[in-house]
Amino acid sequence: MDNNLWKNKIVLSFIFAILCQSVYGIENTQPKQSKFSFFKKNKNEVNLVKKKTPKRVKITEVELPAVFSFKNPPKNISVMTIDECVKYALEHNPNLSVYEQRIKASKAGIGEARGSYAPMLTARVNYNHLDNNGSRIASTHTNSGGFTVGVSEMIWDFGRTTARINMAKYDTESAQYDYDYELLDVIYRVQTNYHRVLMALANLDIFEQNVRINTLNYERTNAMFEEGLKSKIDVVNAQVNLADSKIQLVNGQEELANAVIALQNSMYYTENDGFIVANTENFGFLKADYRKKMQSMDNNTKPSGFSFKKNNDGLITLSSGIEHNDIIQDFKLNPYKITKQEAVDKALENRPDLKSIRMVLKVQEESLKAIKKQYAPELTADLTYNYTKNESYYTNPFQVGASLGLGSLNPYQIHYQIKEGEAYLDIAKHNINIAKSDIYWEVQSNYVTMRQLERKIPLMNEKVKATLENFELADGRYSVGLSNYVELQDALANYNNAQLNFVQAVFEYNVARDTLLKSMGVKSN
């Protein structure tokens, strides 16, 4: 009896050792070399995170900062370049975190698919009571109990599990490419909103200058009316134009505030302190006083820096009050050097969304293989130990075996599963062709838009200079009575519109350039 118990302990220890080794082989991120190729990480398996995967952290609900007020700005407001804003967005954007978790989930799917080759444990404890009563036989009562422990492992299923493992690998690669494309989108949104802030600040310069000019116009026209040199209608018109310029300035301040909010929103900015922007390579309108302007943009701008200038005849002119070429004087355009064919080729090579679709095609190919392999048999190995004891005897058989056979098959269902898989495979192939065609034309369109703006901006630069000169001439003619107020105001409006259109064109160029880079799959210049 003691020998049998000792034998039972040896068998149970052997089974436990097998289970521990099997579990360790599955969970270990770098398993030892195995004779089965499906336990190896082949070259097609994506290496999504080269560094060690960080431990799972608790996700807490975000706490939003207090609403930033430009009326009471922080004393030490900082400057953030466009690259710093992009970096902040990449570190704080929750959408990227969602895509990262999708990658982790897809990677877990690889291990889940490999789990089909892992041993399966069965354990059962049983107790039976037999009560046999009858008229012709003696009544009997039998009690028996025992347990059963077994290990079953699938050795080979002729490629069905391998196909599922490959499906999980390609699906993981697809998730990685989806993450890369979302990364591009985050960068593009931040860059666009950053340039929108720059445009709003440049426009604010123009609006402030227009207020100062119209203020002097009104004061000059009123002074000339008192001298009998101008009519009352000129004074009223000057007052109306001054009011319009102030309204335009208020609208410009609103646009700047909304542009800053949009930028911070795209960055998921959660700091209590605000920041101001800096020049970019192709958007160089900022002046030294922009820090102060950002801090006080909720306040009305008071005209300053102007003084009346009288000529020998006592006529007042505004020439000294115009900020000559203020918008264009420091602007430099650095064209992006690339041909249209190079842009298209780079896009077809780099676009993450196209790569993701290609991985979907591979997933469908492996899925179809797995469906067809359902007709293949399955080779399994079993190890079972059973111990049973009743009132008079006990048994403890130990069984090792292997089997080769088919599971429950439904040929009719499998036939239509194959048809369905072939259809999805064709859809994936068509989606690749559609994506390639869309990218081909998208890049060309973005390229043409960028190049047209590169040619347009220098011409608009010349127009700003010409409208400024025309305004100065109109101002001089108005001062000596050779033109009326309508002509002067038209010249001023043309000058302001030329500046605003120039700033708009520079903004559109920067957006077009960023859009081209995004369509090429390039993260930065």
Q: What is the pLDDT of residues 217-236, one digit of tens each?
A: 888 888 888 878 788 998 99
**Rounded to the nearest 10 degrees, what angle do helices 94-114 and 160-226 cross at?**
180
Q: Which of 60-69, 321-330, 398-407, 436-445 ranks highest by mean pLDDT?
A: 436-445
CB 48 within 8 A of CB 272: no
User: How much is the pLDDT for 225?
Assistant: 85
Q: Which of the four pLDDT bands, split at 50, 70 and 90, describes residue 32?
A: very low
Tell me the average pLDDT across 249-254.
90
Judge residue 360's burial from the number of C-beta atoms within 10 Å of its C-beta, 0-12 exposed, 13-18 middle, 19 or more buried.
buried
- β-bridge partners, 283: 280
- Examine the pLDDT at 37 and tell me if it is beyond 70: no
The 3-state secondary structure of 207-233 reads HHHHHHHHHHHHHHHHHHHHCCCCCHH
Q: What is the pTM of this model?
A: 0.78
User: How much is the pLDDT for 318?
Assistant: 53
**Mean per-residue pLDDT over the chain, rounded:** 80
**436 vs 439: CA distance, rounded Å:** 5
**87 vs 93: CA distance, rounded Å:** 10
Q: Which of the four pLDDT bands, split at 50, 70 and 90, describes residue 200?
A: very high
Q: Which of the four pLDDT bands, split at 50, 70 and 90, describes residue 154?
A: confident
405 phi/psi in degrees, rounded to 5:
-175, 175
**375 vs 162: CA distance, rounded Å:** 15
Residue of 412 and 3 predicted with greater confidence: 412
User: How much is the pLDDT for 118?
Assistant: 85
Q: Which of the four pLDDT bands, split at 50, 70 and 90, describes residue 181?
A: very high
- Examine the pLDDT at 124 and tell me if it is beyond 80: yes
- β-bridge partners, 122: 150
Q: Which of 73-87, 188-202, 266-280 ranks highest by mean pLDDT?
A: 188-202
**400 vs 386: CA distance, rounded Å:** 12
Identify the CATH number of the domain defined by range 2-54+80-129+143-519. Answer: 1.20.1600.10
Domains of the chain: which residue ranges? 2-54+80-129+143-519
Tell me the average pLDDT across 44-62.
54
The 3-state secondary structure of 137-158 reads CCCEEEEEEEEEEEEEEEEECC
CB 428 within 8 A of CB 361: yes
